[in-house]
Amino acid sequence: MNEAVPVVPSSAESMAKQGCEKLGLDAFDALVRRARTCRRFDESMRVPREFLLELAELAHLVPCGANAQRLRFHVVSGAEDCARVFDELAWAGALKDWPGPAEGERPTGYIAILAERTVPGKPAAPITEVDTGIAAQTMMLAARSATPEVAACMFKAFTPRAIDAMGLDNDKYELKLIMAFGVPAETQVIDAIDSNPDGTINYWRDEAQVHHVPKRPLSDVLV
Ligand SMILES: Cc1cc2nc3c(=O)[nH]c(=O)nc-3n(C[C@H](O)[C@H](O)[C@H](O)COP(=O)(O)O)c2cc1C
């Protein structure tokens, strides 16, 4: 009779993976792993405005500092409005020779995350920076969990004109983050921290145009 042989975890990674299986986290684990930043989309399949509104619905329910709910969400979906936002974004600083997605592979929707200023023209409460991250990743994961999958890229690099391009009042709102959405038209993979041939931890593309994202092993980040 075969006896079950207990598997001895060989690293922090495999221990975490086993814990994940035991806790029934497999589906969520897979979702988090594939929810990579995407920068090339299939523009022939536009993300419906209703889908983006559903993401905003979820994002407005997430935890936030003191439950103050200072975040605001602005949904952009029409082709012309999307083009206006696109012009204000800086894509993939680490891919020096890539100017950003070409026509036909651009995002088909955006959600801007803004914080309402307590005093007009003054910076919004600092905690809204944390609130923004929680809302953004919630939308990233929700989009990727859809069928068909919708992928996203978060932008902190936007011009000061971006808020005007969306027709919003900069005195009233501080633009925190712009999220671009679309049906993915590129493959991304998590790779070893030393995988980039140039020796940096920058994301990189191989000859097959697969996007590699080097991540540190768990043992390096446990302190
Ligand atoms: C707060 C934040 C701001 C970002 N800003 C930009 C940006 O302005 N332009 C861009 O191309 N990518 C931006 N990114 C995407 C990061 O480059 C990306 O998350 C990182 O390379 C790791 O890849 P991953 O998301 O697939 O794990 C941003 C991501 C975050 C979380």
Centre of ligand 1 from the C-alpha of residue 8, in Å: 36
Report yes or no: 163 and 173 within 8 Å, Cβ to Cβ: yes
Give strand ranges (E) for the chain: 71-76, 109-116, 151-155, 173-182, 188-192, 204-205, 211-215
Question: Which domain range does residue 148 map to?
Answer: 49-182
Query: What is the mean predicted confidence (pLDDT) over 65-85?
Result: 98
* Atom of ligand 1 at shortest range from CA of 93: 11
Domain assignment present for 112: yes
Centre of ligand 1 from the C-alpha of residue 92, in Å: 8
Question: Which pLDDT tens digit goes with each residue over 3-28?
Answer: 455 555 667 777 777 777 777 889 99
Domain assignment present for 123: yes
Centre of ligand 1 from the C-alpha of residue 3, in Å: 47
- Atom 19 in ligand 1: which residue has the minimum CA distance? 37
Q: Is 204 in the pocket of ligand 1 (CB under 6 A)?
A: no
d(CA 92, CA 95): 5
Domain assignment present for 197: no
- Tell me which residue of 207, 206, 52 sits closest to 143, measured CA to CA: 52
The number of distinct structural domains making up the chain is 1
Residue 72 has pLDDT above 70, yes or no: yes
Domain assignment present for 24: no
- Identify the helix (H) or strand (E) that includes residue 103: none
Domain assignment present for 191: no
Residue 112 has pLDDT above 90, yes or no: yes
Q: What is the ipTM of this complex?
A: 0.99
In a mutational test of the pocket of ligand 1, which residue from 38, 128, 156 has the highest number of ligand atoms less than 8 Å from its CB? Answer: 156
Domain assignment present for 172: yes
Q: Is 155 in the pocket of ligand 1 (CB under 6 A)?
A: yes
Q: Is 92 in the pocket of ligand 1 (CB under 6 A)?
A: yes
- Tell me which residue of 168, 174, 107 sits closest to 143, measured CA to CA: 107
Domain assignment present for 214: no
Give me the CATH number covering residue 79.
3.40.109.10
Question: Which pLDDT tens digit goes with each residue over 159-205?
Answer: 999 999 999 999 999 999 999 999 999 999 999 999 999 999 999 99
Q: What is the pLDDT of residue 1?
A: 42
Domain assignment present for 128: yes
